[in-house]
């Protein structure tokens, strides 16, 4: 094996390893807002760095690992930076559907290649004769993927810039500590500077690659790859310090189903509407209930609902609704007519649409799993089952 372990290639490899370590730290971080999104962006850049090392060091002659899903993870970079910024600066969480739309190009690229490889497998074992069409599909993918990746990155970098200057300094962190709020915006600004530099260098690289006017013997992709590696070195050091200093302190969990939660405190009209929607109308029993549909029902803007819950209840929309569902479950558990239902069956009547969500929410508000809670009630002779 004739590997080219030049200084540049060693720097690329070490940068990728350092970035990978930092990505693991981010995925394990619970208190840094949007850590998972920054982790996805860093992971995509790590993959890109390893891919660069693969072809630059002549390792590609011995492995085809990076040939299976080219131009897939790179589509995570722009969207992930954008979502990370929103997590730090915005108080309104995006819905699952909005996040899926933001990652739609990544999902499309992954599914496209997966279908191609599956079809290729079928051709290989003789179950289909689609080889010409498969070849055309692969050629089409190779032609559009790189320009599209640049366009997607530019689009989300533009959105990041717009949101940065449009959003006022109103994040949860900034409300609690003005100095920490300045630190948040300064940190976001530093990442935006890198995004803009990368946008310029990446676009120039694409133009040079397609025009064929590169005058040097070394690859025209080296400048952008070196930039990405330098960013990985920087983000692994600076980012580690930031995730330790920019955190959201855990709030004391409250159960809004308990009417004594706000005893002695004056409720806002919006809070009264929200509680009435849960306690009188029992909207929490609708498993499809969303922040938007609740907003439409009680005629209070989405932004105002989030703000009210955050300030007066100390929790987000999902926890607010799930707290009522948990209490409803405990109430339904006492009824003899539910003896023939499973715990999950009872939970579904209370608005939970998945076992994982039910288990997680119940333990958050009761401190134990539903099974343990039920067993304790039976031991105390309180169960109606």
Domain boundaries, the chain: 7-245, 269-379
281 contacts 331 by C-beta, under 8 angstroms: no
| Burial class for 316, CB neighbours closer than 10 Å (0-12, 13-18, 19+) | middle
- Do 7-245 and 269-379 fold alike per CATH? no
CA distance between the termini of the chain: 69
Position 253 scores a pLDDT of 44
Q: Are 38 and 239 in contact (CB under 8 A)?
A: yes
Q: Which pTM does this prediction carry?
A: 0.61
Q: What is the predicted pLDDT for the residue at 326?
A: 93
Q: What are phi and psi of 260, to 5 degrees?
A: -90, 5
Q: What separation in angstroms does the CA of 67 have from each of 63, 173, 227, 240, 261?
A: 9, 43, 23, 32, 57
pLDDT, position 10: 84
Superfamily of domain 269-379: Homeodomain-like (1.10.10.60)
Tokens of 206: 């694409």
| Percent of the chain as helix, strand, coil, to the nearest 5 | 70, 0, 30
The string of pLDDT tens digits covering residues 31-89 is 788 889 999 999 999 998 888 888 777 776 667 677 778 888 999 999 999 999 988 88
State phi, psi for 101 to the nearest 5 degrees: -65, -40
Q: At 344, which helix (H) or strand (E)?
A: helix 343-349
Distance CA 263, CA 164 (A): 39
Please identify which residue in the block is written with the tokens 């007066």.
312
**174 closest CA partner among 185, 162, 158:** 185
Looking at residue 244, its pLDDT comes to: 76
- What are the C-alpha distances in Å from 298 to residues 118, 270, 276? 49, 9, 9
Mapped onto helix, strand or coil, the DSSP state of residue 278 is helix
Q: Are 228 and 236 in contact (CB under 8 A)?
A: no
Residues of the chain with pLDDT under 50: 132-133, 169-177, 250-264
For 55, 197, 200, 363, the CA distances from 223, given in Å and listed in that order, are: 15, 12, 11, 50
**Residue 257: predicted pLDDT:** 44
Determine the 3-state secondary structure of 73 from DSSP: helix
CATH 1.20.120 fits 7-245, yes or no: no
**Under 8 Å between Cβ of 89 and 171:** yes
* Chain segment 75-130, per-residue pLDDT in tens: 999 999 999 998 888 766 778 888 999 999 999 999 988 888 787 777 666 555 55
């Amino acid at each position: 094996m004739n590997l080219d372990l030049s200084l540049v290639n060693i720097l690329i490899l070490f940068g990728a390893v350092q970035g990978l370590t930092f990505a693991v730290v981010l995925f394990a971080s619970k208190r840094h807002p949007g850590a998972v999104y920054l982790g996805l962006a860093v992971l995509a850049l790590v993959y890109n760095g390893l891919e660069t090392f693969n072809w630059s060091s002549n390792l590609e002659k011995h492995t085809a690992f990076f040939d299976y899903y080219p131009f897939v993870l790179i589509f995570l970079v722009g969207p992930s930076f954008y979502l990370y910024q929103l997590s730090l600066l915005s108080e309104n969480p995006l819905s699952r559907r909005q996040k899926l739309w933001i990652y739609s190009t990544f999902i499309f690229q992954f599914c496209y290649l997966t279908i191609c490889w599956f079809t290729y497998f079928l051709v290989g074992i003789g179950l289909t004769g689609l080889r010409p069409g498969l070849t055309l599909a692969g050629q089409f993918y190779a032609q559009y993927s790189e320009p599209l990746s640049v366009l997607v990155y530019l689009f989300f970098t533009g959105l990041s810039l717009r949101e940065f200057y449009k959003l006022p300094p109103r994040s949860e962190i900034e409300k609690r500590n003005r100095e920490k709020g300045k630190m948040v915006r300064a940190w976001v600004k530093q990442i935006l500077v890198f995004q803009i530099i990368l946008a310029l260098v990446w676009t120039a690289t694409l133009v040079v690659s397609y025009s064929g006017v590169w005058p040097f013997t070394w690859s025209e992709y080296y400048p952008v790859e070196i930039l990405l590696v330098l960013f990985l070195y920087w983000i692994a050091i600076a980012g580690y310090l930031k995730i330790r200093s920019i955190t959201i302190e855990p709030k004391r969990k409250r159960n809004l189903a308990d009417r004594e939660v706000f005893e002695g405190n004056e409720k806002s009209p919006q809070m009264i509407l929200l509680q009435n929607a849960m306690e009188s109308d029992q909207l929490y029993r609708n498993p499809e209930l969303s922040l938007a549909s609740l907003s439409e029902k009680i005629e209070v803007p989405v932004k105002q609902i989030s703000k009210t819950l955050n300030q007066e209840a100390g929790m987000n929309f999902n926890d607010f609704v799930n707290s009522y569902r948990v209490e409803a479950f405990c109430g339904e558990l006492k009824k003899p007519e539910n003896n023939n239902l499973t715990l999950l069956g009872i939970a579904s009547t209370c608005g939970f649409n998945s076992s994982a969500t039910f288990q997680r929410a119940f333990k958050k508000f009761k401190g134990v799993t539903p099974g343990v809670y039920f067993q304790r009630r039976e031991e105390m002779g309180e169960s109606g089952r």
